[in-house]
């Protein structure tokens, strides 16, 4: 079976492979380039596993030529070799020399401490000044490596596996269990027996305090209802010389934050996942290119994915715009169902588009 040998370079392996392929073609074999590319990707050594995943995600293997594959593998091979050289440069061998002095005439041995286990050999002069070689094995002292991250968050659904992971981490690093998560990356988390509520009330309040807008009148939308959006909004134009229009637009956004700072997302406890897709679309709502806008997604009564996105094509009717929105909704549903399956949510296999 043709496979890449350990330590073999990409150039040598591809040369060996192409030599075999050319001999097969001479004898009438009709193996195409796609099959050869797939064979090469499957037969690389384990150190190229992440390279294979990267190539398959970034390219269409069916359209990838052998020359393009070779160029990509050579680039990754150079990076891997460079990393190996840097790691080897970090390895160092050190020797410690010490002289032991005693007040009396006799000479002897004195215990020494070190953080690692290593053999120590030294000559110790005794009473008649003749050298005596002594060897000893230093005891190993277990030292925990310090954890360089703070507030490292761990989540899980299997309690036994979760506790086992915590114990293994505590044995490896100097860390402490801070209990349930309450604050992470600017997001406040409130956990209870019924579910989890997340919000950014504190972060919004800090923004309002910074710009002295904490007592402003709240509104429910970031812009006036029915306002036509353009590629460059009013508050983004002429930023080097802002006018009163820019100030009013920015204040409107602050007032929106004031009116929605108590809002958040609540996720109920439960294993069953009823996936609902809510989709809607306008028609030629963009005043620049006449494209439509569509989309929002819900998982039962728990929002898990949502979007308000311009459609990629210009539709010729409102019916076509609705079909485009429904198609995008179905594509998102396929992706979400795979995620729910990995999270062990129960799924009845049905998707409801509303």
Burial pattern 90-123, b for ≥16 Cβ within 10 A else e, equals eeeeeeeeeeeeeeeeebeeeeeeeeeeeeeebe
Condensed to tens digits (0 to 9), the pLDDT of residues 190-238 reads: 888 888 888 988 889 999 999 888 889 999 888 777 776 665 555 555 5
At 245, list the tokens: 């229009």
Condensed to tens digits (0 to 9), the pLDDT of residues 279-318 reads: 777 777 776 677 777 766 666 556 667 777 777 778 888 8
Q: Write down the residue that tokens 């036994």 correspond to.
A: 160
Cβ 353 vs Cβ 331: under 8 Å: no
DSSP conformation class of 44: S
Residues paired with residue 120 on neighbouring β-strands, in sequence order: 136
At 231, list the tokens: 């590629």
Domain ranges in the chain are 10-79, 182-260, 270-353
Output helix, strand, coil percentages for the chain, rounded to the nearest 5: 40, 15, 45
pLDDT band at 255 (very low <50, low <70, confident <90, very high): very high
DSSP β-ladder status, 297-299 and 275-277? antiparallel
What is the spatial distance between Cα 113 and Cα 129, in angstroms, rounded to a whole number?
26
The phi, psi pair for 295, rounded to 5°, reads 115, 135
Q: Write down the residue that tokens 């044995």 correspond to.
A: 171
Tell if the pTM clears 0.75, that is, is over it. no
Nearest to 69 by CA among 84, 31, 77: 77
What is the spatial distance between Cα 333 and Cα 194, in angstroms, rounded to a whole number?
26
């Amino acid at each position: 079976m043709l496979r890449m040998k350990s330590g073999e370079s990409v150039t040598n392996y591809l040369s060996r492979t192409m030599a075999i392929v050319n001999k097969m073609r001479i004898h009438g074999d009709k193996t195409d380039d796609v099959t050869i590319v797939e064979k090469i990707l499957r037969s690389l050594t384990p150190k190229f596993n992440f390279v294979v995943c990267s190539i398959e995600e970034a390219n269409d293997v069916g359209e990838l030529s052998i020359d393009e594959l070779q160029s990509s593998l050579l680039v990754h091979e150079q990076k891997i070799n460079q990393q190996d050289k840097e790691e080897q440069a970090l390895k160092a061998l050190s020797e410690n020399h010490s002289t032991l002095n005693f007040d009396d005439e006799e000479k002897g041995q004195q215990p020494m401490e070190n953080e690692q286990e290593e053999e120590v050999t030294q000559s110790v002069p005794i009473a008649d000044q003749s050298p005596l070689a002594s060897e000893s094995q230093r005891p190993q002292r277990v030292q925990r490596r310090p954890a360089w991250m703070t507030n490292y968050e761990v989540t899980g659904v299997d309690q036994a596996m979760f506790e086992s992971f915590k114990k293994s981490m505590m044995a490896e690093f100097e860390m402490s269990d801070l209990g349930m998560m309450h604050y992470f990356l600017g997001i406040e988390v409130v956990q209870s027996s019924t579910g989890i509520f997340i919000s950014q009330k504190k972060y919004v309040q800090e923004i309002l305090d910074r710009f002295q807008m904490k007592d402003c009148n709240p509104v429910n939308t970031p812009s006036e209802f029915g306002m036509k959006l353009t590629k460059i909004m009013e508050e983004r134009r002429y930023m080097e010389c802002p006018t009163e229009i820019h100030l009013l637009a920015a204040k409107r956004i602050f007032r929106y934050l004031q009116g929605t700072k108590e809002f958040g997302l609540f996720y109920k406890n439960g294993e069953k996942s009823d996936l609902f897709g809510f989709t809607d679309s306008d028609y030629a709502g963009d005043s620049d290119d006449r494209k439509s806008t569509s989309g929002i997604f819900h998982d039962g009564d728990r929002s898990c994915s949502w979007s308000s996105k311009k459609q990629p094509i210009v539709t010729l009717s409102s019916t076509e715009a609705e079909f485009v929105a429904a198609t995008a909704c179905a594509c998102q549903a396929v992706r979400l169902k795979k995620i729910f399956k990995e999270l062990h949510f129960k799924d009845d296999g049905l998707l409801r588009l509303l």
